[in-house]
Amino acid sequence: MRFSRLPLLWRVFTINATLLAVAALLLAVTPVTVHAPIALVEAVDLAVGLTIMLIANFLLLRHTLRPIHRLVARMGKVDLLRPGQRLGEQGGVEAAALVRAFNEMLDGLERERRESGRRALDAQEAERLRIARGLHDEVGQVLTGVLLQLDSLAGPQADRDAQVAETKQAVRQALEEVRRIARELRPEMLDHLGLTSALTELSRRFADQSGIRVQPSFGADLPRLSDASELAVYRVAQESLTNVARHAHASRVVIVLEPGPGSVVLRVSDDGRGIPEDVDVNGHGGLRGMRERALLVGGALAVKPGRGGGTEVRLEVPVGAA
């Protein structure tokens, strides 16, 4: 049996027993003697021998325990938002068993995180849909009715006509705001016309509202994604544009949607100031939400400096992801 396959207890025992046996053998075959009281030369010999044994013991034990130290260091770097990170089963029996248990624990945590995150996002989207329908159907209809009533009240008197016109304009603005909120809560175009059309409309609205120039580039032959994956791509693009407007100080944004190897790739890049060094791209609220969405559809999200400055958000979603 290889030494590395022995249990940790027996490896430590073997190292120490070997050193003690070597020391006993040296005492037996060398002319070294110890008198009472001990002489200075004998004390020096014992001190040198003890020092050599301690150093050898330390070096051998450090080599034996190094796999466990490496395992502990790598455990501290595992991020559940980056799935698939598994440790190799290296080292002795205990280290391999510990790695195996840790990898199994990661499997369970990732499954539970996906399920709980999916339930939370499904509930969130259902609530958004309910609110959007309420705004569109209930409040929108009421405001439309008010407009019709004001139209019927318009008369020949100039003052009343001016007040009615002013009130109608205010109601139109409120109605447009309700429609805008409903679109942001639930992208109807995504449900009816598909991902490309929804991203085109999102880009147009963002450019109109922010004054930042948007360059969309959408592939013509994109693979079909599931509804959940399309929604994830749309929400990541929406959040990326929101971050650009709030933090980037950019003048131009490029949105690319293109096919990948068995996937669809979204890239949103700007020419702004980039991500500050003190911002945690894993723990920051908006970025963390994007990572959660990517994780739930089996995708991978990366946030990195852009090639020409600024920031680039890249999302890759596999085709057929549920």
Q: What is the pLDDT of residues 75-116, one digit of tens each?
A: 777 766 666 667 777 666 777 777 788 788 878 777 777 777
- Closest C-alpha to 200, from 245, 147, 256: 256
Same domain (yes/no): 312, 269: yes
Same domain (yes/no): 219, 180: no
Q: Which domain holds residue 140?
A: 124-185
Domain boundary among 185, 202, 219: 185
Question: Length of the chain in residues, anyone?
Answer: 322
- Domain assignment present for residue 102? The answer is no
- Domain assignment present for residue 59? The answer is yes
- Domain assignment present for residue 180? The answer is yes
DSSP string, 202-271: HHHHHHHHH--EEEEEE-SSPPP--HHHHHHHHHHHHHHHHHIIIII--SEEEEEEEEETTEEEEEEEE-
Domain count, the chain: 3
pLDDT at 322 over 50: no
- Domain assignment present for residue 15? The answer is yes
At 312 the three-state DSSP class reads: strand
Q: Report H helices in the chain.
A: 8-29, 40-75, 93-133, 140-153, 158-185, 188-193, 195-210, 227-243, 285-296
273-318 residue pLDDT tens:
887 766 655 555 578 778 888 888 888 899 988 887 889 999 999 9
Lay out the sheet containing 263-270: strands in order across.
213-218, 252-260, 263-270, 311-318, 300-305
Q: Could you tell me the CATH number of the domain that includes residue 295? A: 3.30.565.10
- Domain assignment present for residue 281? The answer is yes
Domain boundary among 163, 185, 207: 185
Same domain (yes/no): 201, 179: no
Predicted TM-score of the model (pTM): 0.54
- Domain assignment present for residue 95? The answer is no
Same domain (yes/no): 171, 220: no
**What pLDDT does 265 receive?**
95
